[in-house]
């Protein structure tokens, strides 16, 4: 039986191939894993009850939990296991094909940058060998720490260059560290050929987004919802091709659970380049498949619109042209297969 082409069903939204650009390693630790890691490494969390650990009402409380869970990851093996598990889970539950995943090295003072990298690369390679999912890395600056910590971190990244680390980013509380403070770190990264993204305009105002673009030279913005309050900035972001890596469930936290208040639909309608991402999946009780189901249903996406959204970030991925066209081909074939399956054709004929 032919299905209604006009509506993207939850099954279709979940089965679409996904590429995501805004997902934090430390925010991807399931609560049960966080509790076992803390026990194994002798680190204290605010509770040993996994059902309670990820209960928070405010963004500040969320960041406290995020920092505590980061501190529970103390060995290369921890990094390998968390990376492997989160990638293979997202592949299995949401057909994740490609991710650029960020991590905060300075949240793990007991490990050197090369030690973290060793574990991460091990996890990434095993996940790709077992499921085909590809992952590159973004080194994130914690803006609540000082600009000199950020400069030292970028120097470390440059001293230990590897193909998988493609960019730097900046996260944590926007109210703590303005973009202007991190110009030097971003300049050094750009000079070394690293791509740049930044969390901005998540709760702060549009000036954060503007400063991230103009002072830090970012190519992408993580979140960026405040852009809508500045029509000139919308116009320039659109013409410069700045990409916005947005997150539905994080928006729910910021808007008291009201999907109608989430800015992602209006950002797409304004012609901005927008992708859907999972941010900190278990901490927000979500995964990349669920993010597409929530966004697709709330925005009443057609199948074609949902497929376009699944491909939307590929043009802004931090990859070379060969990899970009390979990813586009993989996505086109997968979407075509899905459409044929839903329209009642045998996908093998």
Beta carbon nearer to ligand HPA, 15 or 216: 216
Beta carbon nearer to ligand HPA, 17 or 251: 251
Going residue by residue from 57 to 76, which x/- string records binding to ligand HPA, judged by CB under 6 A? ---------x----------
- Tracing tokens 């993010």 back to the chain, one arrives at 291
Nearest distance, CB of residue 250 and ligand HPA, angstroms? 5
106 touches ligand HPA (CB under 6 A)? no
20 touches ligand HPA (CB under 6 A)? no
Nearest distance, CB of residue 330 and ligand HPA, angstroms? 27
Going residue by residue from 274 to 303, which x/- string records binding to ligand HPA, judged by CB under 6 A? -----xx-----------------------
89 touches ligand HPA (CB under 6 A)? no
Per CB under 6 A, the list member of 171, 211, 291, 334 interacting with ligand HPA is 171
24 touches ligand HPA (CB under 6 A)? yes
Going residue by residue from 128 to 167, which x/- string records binding to ligand HPA, judged by CB under 6 A? ----------------------------------------
Q: Does 202 qualify as catalytic in the annotation? A: yes
Nearest distance, CB of residue 279 and ligand HPA, angstroms? 5
Nearest distance, CB of residue 72 and ligand HPA, angstroms? 15
User: Which stretches of the chain bind Zn ion, using CB under 5 A?
Assistant: 279
CA 280, chain centre distance (Å): 8
Q: Which of 81, 174, 202, 334 is catalytic?
A: 202
97 touches ligand HPA (CB under 6 A)? no
Query: Binding-site residue total for ligand HPA (CB under 6 A)?
Result: 10
Nearest distance, CB of residue 265 and Zn ion, angstroms? 20
Nearest distance, CB of residue 115 and ligand HPA, angstroms? 21
What is the rounded CA–CA span in Å between residue 83 and residue 192?
26
Classify the C-alpha dihedral 258-264-267-268 as positive or negative: negative
Which residues are tagged catalytic?
Answer: 202
Judged by the rule CB under 6 A, the positions of this chain that interact with ligand HPA are 24, 27, 66, 171-172, 199, 202, 250, 279-280
């Amino acid at each position: 039986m032919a299905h209604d082409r006009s509506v993207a069903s939850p099954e279709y939204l979940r089965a679409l191939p996904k590429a995501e650009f805004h997902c934090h390693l430390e925010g991807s630790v399931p609560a049960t894993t966080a509790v076992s890691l803390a026990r194994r490494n002798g680190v204290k969390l605010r509770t040993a009850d996994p059902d309670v650990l990820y209960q928070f009402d405010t963004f500040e409380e969320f960041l406290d939990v995020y920092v505590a869970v980061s501190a529970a990851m103390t060995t290369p093996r921890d990094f390998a296991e968390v990376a492997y598990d989160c990638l293979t889970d997202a592949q299995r539950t949401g057909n994740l094909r490609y991710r650029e995943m960020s991590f905060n090295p300075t949240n793990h003072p007991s490990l050197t940058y090369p030690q973290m990298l060793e574990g991460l690369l091990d996890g990434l390679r095993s996940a790709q060998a077992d499921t085909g999912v590809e992952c590159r890395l973004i080194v994130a600056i914690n803006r609540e720490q000082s600009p000199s910590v950020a400069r030292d971190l970028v120097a470390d990244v440059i001293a230990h260059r590897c193909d998988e680390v493609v960019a730097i980013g900046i996260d944590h509380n926007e109210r703590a560290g303005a973009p202007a403070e991190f110009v030097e770190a971003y300049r050094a990264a750009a000079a070394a050929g690293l791509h740049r993204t930044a969390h901005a305009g998540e709760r702060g105002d549009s000036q954060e987004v503007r400063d991230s673009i103009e002072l830090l030279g970012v190519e992408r913005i993580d979140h960026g919802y405040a852009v809508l309050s500045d029509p000139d900035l919308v116009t320039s972001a659109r013409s410069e091709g700045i990409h916005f890596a947005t997150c539905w469930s994080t928006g729910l936290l910021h808007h008291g659970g009201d999907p109608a208040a989430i800015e992602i639909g209006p950002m797409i309608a304004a012609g901005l380049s927008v992708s859907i991402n999972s941010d900190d999946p278990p901490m927000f009780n979500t995964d990349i498949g669920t993010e597409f189901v929530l966004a697709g249903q709330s925005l009443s996406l057609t199948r074609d619109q949902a497929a376009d959204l699944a491909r939307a970030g590929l043009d802004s991925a931090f990859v070379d042209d060969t990899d970009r066209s390979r990813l586009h081909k993989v996505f086109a074939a997968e979407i075509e297969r899905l459409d044929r399956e839903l329209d009642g054709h045998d996908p093998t004929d």
